[in-house]
């Protein structure tokens, strides 16, 4: 039984004041919500404050990225151990914005995945195709090479403590969502790729969908058999909208 996970990726948004209000709204709204794990991923600089504001509410904390080294002379970077020290349980790795804008390769992403797990952080590995790749009918090849590059490097056993998020690049922040059937097709293919390596790990692996998920389309996406929750960008910046998405995932 896979417990659904709904993760808010706040990206580079917010101020101390808005982040405090958003955290308070989410923390208050999850009271009594069962059958779903709720996670928020604020910008680094707000992690400790968000951790404090969450208090004992059932909201997990995650970061949006990490650096591979354990510490030392890496100006501007943040280690996995620092994230744990700040209250994180999860970290996003390989988001398409970092792949496209910051030049992250599958090799870097695999090393970040490993650095996270060495510190008991659960990596959320993002994969997804661009519009050109979808139109060229290479969606499953792209997803496969992104997933397999990391699985080859870390081994399938590592996915017993990881989450994978399918985020079609053309659906991120565009208002355009993959249809439930389009998303399910990719999720089923991803699970099959994992199952080739280990049927047991594939069966337990949580696969999130991300890309313009909102309260209005979440339920039909989450009803798909291989969609185990969502990675939510824009809609996670509004506590009521995010909570409605969390409720849609609750089983
Ligand atoms: P979006 O972003 O929900 O704003 O499309 C999703 C993501 O990038 O994780």
- Indicate whether 163 belongs to any domain: yes
pLDDT band for 176, please (50, 70, 90 cuts): confident
CATH of the domain at 192: 3.20.20.70
Q: Is any atom of ligand 1 closer than 6 Å to the C-beta of 231?
A: yes
Nearest CA to ligand 1 atom 9: 233
Outline where 70-165 has alpha helix (H). Answer: 80-85, 96-101, 106-118, 131-135, 139-154
Q: What is the pLDDT of residues 27-52, one digit of tens each?
A: 999 998 999 999 999 999 999 999 99
- Indicate whether 109 belongs to any domain: yes
Host domain of residue 14: 9-61
- Indicate whether 230 belongs to any domain: no
Instruction: Give the pLDDT of residue 193.
Output: 98
CA distance 61 to 39: 6
Q: Is any atom of ligand 1 closer than 6 Å to the C-beta of 210?
A: yes
Q: Is any atom of ligand 1 closer than 6 Å to the C-beta of 94?
A: no
Cα-to-centroid distance, 243 and ligand 1 (Å):
16
Instruction: Give the pLDDT of residue 50.
Output: 98
Could you tell me if 55 and 104 lie in one domain?
Answer: no
Could you tell me if 190 and 83 lie in one domain?
Answer: yes
Could you tell me if 195 and 87 lie in one domain?
Answer: yes
Q: What angle do CA 247, 248, 250 make, to 5 degrees?
A: 60
User: Per the confidence metrics, is the pTM higher than 0.95?
Assistant: yes
How many domains in the chain? 2
Which ligand 1 atom is the nearest neighbour of the CA of 213? 3
Q: Is any atom of ligand 1 closer than 6 Å to the C-beta of 165?
A: no
Average pLDDT score, the chain: 97
Instruction: Give the pLDDT of residue 1.
Output: 82
Average pLDDT over residues 47-62: 97
């Amino acid at each position: 039984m896979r417990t659904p996970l709904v993760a808010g990726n706040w990206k580079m948004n917010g101020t101390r004041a808005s982040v405090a209000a958003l955290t308070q709204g989410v923390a208050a709204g999850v009271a009594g919500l069962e059958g779903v794990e709720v996670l928020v991923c604020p910008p680094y600089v707000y992690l400790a404050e968000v951790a404090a504001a969450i208090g004992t509410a059932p909201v997990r904390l995650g970061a949006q990225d990490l650096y591979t080294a354990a510490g030392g002379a890496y100006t501007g970077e943040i280690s996995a151990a620092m994230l744990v020290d700040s209250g994180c349980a999860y970290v996003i790795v390989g988001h398409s914005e970092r792949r496209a804008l910051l030049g992250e390769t599958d090799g870097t992403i695999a090393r970040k995945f490993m650095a996270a797990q060495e510190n008991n952080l659960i990596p959320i590995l993002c994969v997804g195709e661009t519009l050109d790749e979808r139109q060229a009918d290479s969606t499953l090849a792209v997803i496969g090479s992104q997933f397999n590059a990391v699985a080859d490097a870390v081994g399938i056993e590592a996915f017993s403590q990881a989450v994978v998020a399918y985020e079609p690049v053309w659906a991120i922040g565009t208002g355009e969502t993959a249809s439930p059937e389009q998303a399910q097709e990719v999720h089923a293919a991803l699970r099959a790729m994992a199952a080739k390596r280990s049927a047991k790990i594939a069966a337990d692996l949580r696969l999130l969908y991300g890309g313009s998920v909102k309260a209005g389309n979440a339920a039909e996406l989450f009803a798909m058999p291989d969609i185990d929750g969502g990675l939510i960008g824009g809609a996670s910046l509004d506590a009521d909208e995010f909570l409605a998405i969390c409720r849609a995932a609750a089983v």
